[in-house]
Amino acid sequence: MVKLRIALLLSTVAVTSSCAGLPLPGSGPAPGEAISQQERQQGAQAHAQLLQQFGDVYSGRQSDYVVRVGQRISIQSGLSDAQNDFTISLLNSPVNNAFALPGGYVYITRNLVGLMNSEAELASVMGHEVGHVAARHSSQRSSRNTIGQLLALGLGLLTGSGDIANLAGQAAQLYTLRYSRQQEYQADELGITYLTRAGYDPFAAADMLSSLAAQTRLDASASGRNARSLPEWASTHPDPAQRVARARAEATERGAVPGAGTRDRDAFLNAIDGMLYDDDPSQGIVDGNTFRHPDLRLQFTVPQGYTMQNGSTAVVVTGSNGQAQFSGGTDSGNLATYIDGVFRRLAGNNQQINYGNVRTARINGLPVGQATARVASGSNQVDVTVTAYDFGGNRKYHFLTVTRAGQGIGPFGSMLNSVSRLSSAEAAAIRPRVIDVVTVRSGDTISGLASRMAYRDYREERFRVLNALGSGNALRAGQRVKIVVYGR
């Protein structure tokens, strides 16, 4: 969340899990058919939007490694023999997710990579995602979930030329929607086939799924669950126990022997040592219902039950009675011209949104301007309110809130009143976490190493999940493990 950019998303209905059906027989090419020109174009169109929504590509040295592994596994799919036909992106996102687009685009978040314990596990997740693409699952799915359908449902606010960008989040949601169970099993099988072909231990897939299931259980029990709305791999890939069992059976069927195949654990641990973990403070952090940005020195709190999606240009807040978007940056005008600019960009070329007077006030010491307009959204009318905050030094930020007509700022009153400066002490307290790979020495214990984890709670549980250490596992000297520590 750094630059000013209007990308209004109006979706008061959560778009989830609308494809529980079976794959449509004969509705796509057989798995492995080469990437078509049309698929290349589809992928290229959505690529930039997805990067923006998922925090952009991680800038650390780990990206090169993930690209290499991703290309090595992706060419096993039959989509293309050329490694460069696959665009692999390590996303700078604190959620655990992976997905792929038609045209050879494969994405994995750094947090999901951090959860893994070998190169083979990394390859297994990307192989699974490429499997969805090779089997053309998204084309089967998008026959039910097209952007056109979303608009027909009245979820889009059609206001002019900016509209295509406005669909960014919805496009991303479409591609990360839940596949059918049959499609998931097929992607698992294809992924395991690719693992085997690339020379990796196919049992890595089952181990990765076990770690993900353990992480999901830990998240569910850990206190202070964040109001994050980006879908996680676990939520779009249900039934982990069943999948672990099937993945083990698949590996056994291929004649693999547990513990015998290539994992490349050391290469993996060397590569990810020092990688950022959880939130990236330079993008702002989500802590419970509060968003804090230590560099921009600002914070706000969203209503209970509402979720935040922290993209690279805006924070989108979504709940049952409306949607809001926070963005902003440098602006040399006054609050009235700033608000006018927001409405103009929202309206797009050659159109106009009529808003009433700009009301002024002070909130937490900040000069604030606010104006509301009634806008047509499909066949419905909505209230669009711009609330702009002057942080001084030409820095202005605003909330754009959208509610049903007649509701004004609706449920967002407390949120709009919560926008405030972050003190230097508060900003300094927000520190990045990184993965530290350490070698166990004789005498080290799980609880001893876990006490170094940079968390207030669940240190040992987090340490065990991060290193796939069950209750029966003990440490041995010389073994390498991951610890999450503060980076500075």
CB closer to Zn ion, 184 vs 436: 184
Separation CA 314–CA 297 (nearest Å): 15
Provide φ and ψ at 209, rounded to 5°.
-65, -35
**Cα atoms in the Cβ-side hemisphere of radius 13 Å centred on 253:** 9
CB closer to Zn ion, 19 vs 449: 19
Q: Is 480 exposed, middle or buried (0-12, 13-18, 19+ CB in 10 A)?
A: middle
Q: How far is the CB of 247 from Zn ion (least distance, A)?
A: 12
Residue 247 touches Zn ion, criterion: CB under 5 A: no
Q: How far is the CB of 119 from Zn ion (least distance, A)?
A: 20
Give the contact letters, 135-174, x = binds to Zn ion (CB under 5 A), - = no.
----------------------------------------
CB closer to Zn ion, 187 vs 213: 187
Residue 435 touches Zn ion, criterion: CB under 5 A: no
In order, the DSSP letters of 187-245 are HHHHHHHHHHHTTB-TTHHHHHHHHHHHHHHHHHHSSS---B-S--HHHHS--HHHHHH
* DSSP assigned state of 35: P
Residue 419 touches Zn ion, criterion: CB under 5 A: no
- In our burial notation (b when 16+ CB lie closer than 10 A, e otherwise), range 165-181 reads bbbbbbbbbbbbbbbbe
Separation CA 351–CA 223 (nearest Å): 47
Q: How far is the CB of 138 from Zn ion (least distance, A)?
A: 11
Q: How far is the CB of 10 from Zn ion (least distance, A)?
A: 28
Q: Which of residues 302-341 bind Zn ion (CB under 5 A)?
A: none
Strand order in the sheet with 290-293: 285-287, 290-293, 298-301, 420-421
CB closer to Zn ion, 112 vs 449: 112
CB closer to Zn ion, 17 vs 351: 17
Q: How far is the CB of 57 from Zn ion (least distance, A)?
A: 22
Q: How far is the CB of 99 from Zn ion (least distance, A)?
A: 8
Contact stretch for Zn ion (CB under 5 A) within 37-45, 148-156, 180-188, 327-335: 180-188
Q: How far is the CB of 183 from Zn ion (least distance, A)?
A: 7
Residue 187 touches Zn ion, criterion: CB under 5 A: yes
CB closer to Zn ion, 212 vs 302: 212
CB closer to Zn ion, 76 vs 385: 76
Residue 100 touches Zn ion, criterion: CB under 5 A: no
Separation CA 77–CA 198 (nearest Å): 10
Check if the beta carbon of residue 218 is closer than 8 Å to that of residue 462: yes
Contact stretch for Zn ion (CB under 5 A) within 60-68, 146-154, 182-190, 335-343: 182-190
Q: How far is the CB of 198 from Zn ion (least distance, A)?
A: 19
The β-bridge relationship of strands 290-293 and 298-301 is: antiparallel
CB closer to Zn ion, 247 vs 449: 247
Contact stretch for Zn ion (CB under 5 A) within 181-189, 268-276, 293-301, 441-449: 181-189
Output the residue with the shortest Cβ distance to Zn ion: 187
Collapsing DSSP to helix, strand or coil, 250 comes out as helix
Q: How far is the CB of 137 from Zn ion (least distance, A)?
A: 8
Q: Is 187 exposed, middle or buried (0-12, 13-18, 19+ CB in 10 A)?
A: buried
- Using CA atoms of 354, 359, 362, 363 in order, give the dihedral in degrees to the nearest 10: -50
Binders of Zn ion: how many residues, by CB under 5 A? 2
- Summarize as ranges the residues that interact with Zn ion (CB under 5 A): 184, 187
